[in-house]
């Protein structure tokens, strides 16, 4: 009597229950058969193509891969349809009036800060009003907005642009640009007005008169008062452009060394006067000073009436024939150790080297 055959792992494996899995496999089989028929109809080697597709379909991995591809294609189609429906809704349409700037300057008091922010928003909305209607899903919108913002004389850098989608059915989409605002560095007095420039020489859209009352009102609106520069003879460009001038470069280099040395804490400087500073370099890029050309610093005249500090050449045009900027600062520090009365009416020449 033959012995019963030992059951193997394949024989004891549970069979899958009939259900949606079989239906899906049957549908995929029909799809593969139709694809094989089309390939057999269109390709020159019809028989080999049909045999190849049939062999691929017998592989379980091939069927799984086909299912995954079909699912991914279906998901992409559904997402595309949903995106089209969302873009058509009013709450995802972008209105230039709903643009909020994170651009309140840290160097200004609230009144001036709000004024600067309002000017940037007004310019930006006027620029975007000329663009065709769009929605919050427009991939090119951040770049377009960044270019429009960068054109503002106040904007130094567009850090990022955040898209904020509506939080509910009644909400609206908004754009939230994060900016770096140019910071005023100097007040440059010209023949008819006072121009404000930043540390890179860009002219800012703030025009002041030469009246002491207007200058004092502006100084009260900034957290750190600015130095007033006198003696600049080159014409100022329009706002947003660099003031290309050796005189402005000289003034900016003086402002930088005064700020870094914190000289104003012990000896407040009212004004920086340029005497004989050339407007432009020669054809070879050299800057020649006349014999009496120099930078003059005027300390606080209420505290030190008549006091003048002859700095000499500014750091950007420093000469080896004069004391170095550090030596000049050391001499000023030595002078400040003396009684304040010693500076009243004094004319201190910082150009000479001290032993």
| Structure confidence at residue 85 (pLDDT) | 53
Average pLDDT rounded to a whole number, residues 115-141: 77
Structure confidence at residue 188 as a pLDDT band (50, 70, 90): very high
Say if 190 falls within a structural domain.
yes
Q: Is residue 312 very low, low, confident or very high in pLDDT (cuts 50, 70, 90)?
A: very high
* Residues 11, 267: Cα–Cα separation, whole Å: 99
pLDDT, tens digit, 9 for 90 and up, residues 36-73: 666 555 555 555 555 666 666 666 676 677 777 777 77
Residues 235 and 308 in one domain: yes
142 and 198 belong to one structural domain: no
- Classify residue 70: in a domain, yes or no: no
Inside any domain, residue 315:
yes
User: Do 241 and 201 belong together in one domain?
Assistant: yes
CATH of the domain at 105: 3.10.20
Say whether both 202 and 146 belong to one domain. Answer: no
Inform me whether the pLDDT recorded for 174 exceeds 60. Answer: yes
Judge if 267 and 138 occupy the same domain.
no
Q: Are residues 345 and 321 in the same domain?
A: yes
Q: What does the pLDDT look like over 85-107, one tens digit per residue?
A: 555 566 666 665 566 676 678 89
What is the extent of the structural domain holding 136?
Answer: 96-181
9 vs 170 pLDDT, higher one: 170
Pair 101, 198 in one domain = no
Question: How much is the pTM?
Answer: 0.72
In a domain, 5, yes or no: no
* Residue 91 is assigned to a structural domain of this protein: no
Count the domains in the chain: 3
Region 19-25: what's the mean pLDDT?
A: 61
Shared-domain flag, residues 256 and 283:
yes
């Amino acid at each position: 009597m033959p012995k019963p055959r030992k059951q193997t792992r394949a024989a004891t494996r549970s069979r899958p229950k009939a259900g949606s899995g079989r239906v899906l496999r049957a549908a995929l089989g029909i799809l593969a058969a139709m694809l094989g028929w089309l390939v057999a109809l269109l390709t020159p080697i019809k028989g080999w193509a049909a045999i190849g597709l049939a062999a691929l379909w017998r592989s379980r991995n091939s069927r799984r891969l086909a299912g995954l591809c079909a699912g991914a294609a279906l998901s992409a189609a559904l997402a595309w349809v949903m995106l089209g429906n969302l873009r058509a809704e009013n709450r995802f349409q972008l209105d230039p009036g709903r643009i909020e700037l994170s651009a309140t300057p840290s160097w200004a008091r609230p009144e001036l800060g709000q004024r600067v922010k309002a000017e940037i928003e007004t310019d930006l909305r006027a620029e975007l009003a000329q663009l065709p209607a769009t929605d919050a899903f427009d991939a090119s919108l951040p770049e377009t907005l960044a270019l429009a913002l960068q054109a503002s004389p106040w904007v130094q850098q567009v850090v990022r642009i955040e898209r904020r989608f509506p939080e509910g059915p009644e909400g609206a989409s908004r754009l939230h640009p994060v900016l770096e605002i140019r910071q005023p560095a100097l007040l440059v007095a010209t023949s008819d007005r006072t121009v404000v420039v930043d540390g890179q020489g860009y002219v800012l859209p703030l025009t002041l008169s030469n009246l002491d009352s207007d200058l004092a009102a502006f100084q009260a609106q900034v957290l750190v008062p600015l130095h007033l520069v006198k003696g600049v003879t080159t014409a100022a460009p329009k706002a947003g452009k660099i003031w290309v001038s050796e005189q402005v470069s000289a003034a900016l280099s003086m402002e930088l060394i005064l700020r870094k040395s914190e000289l104003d804490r012990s000896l407040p400087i009212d004004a920086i006067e340029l005497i004989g500073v050339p407007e432009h370099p020669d054809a070879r890029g050299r800057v020649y000073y006349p014999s009496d050309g120099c930078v003059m610093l005027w300390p606080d005249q209420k505290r030190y009436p008549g006091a003048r500090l002859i700095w000499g050449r500014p750091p950007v045009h420093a000469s080896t024939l004069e004391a170095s900027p550090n030596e000049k600062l050391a001499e000023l520090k030595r002078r400040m150790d003396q009684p304040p009365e010693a500076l009243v009416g004094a004319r201190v020449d910082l150009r000479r080297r001290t032993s």
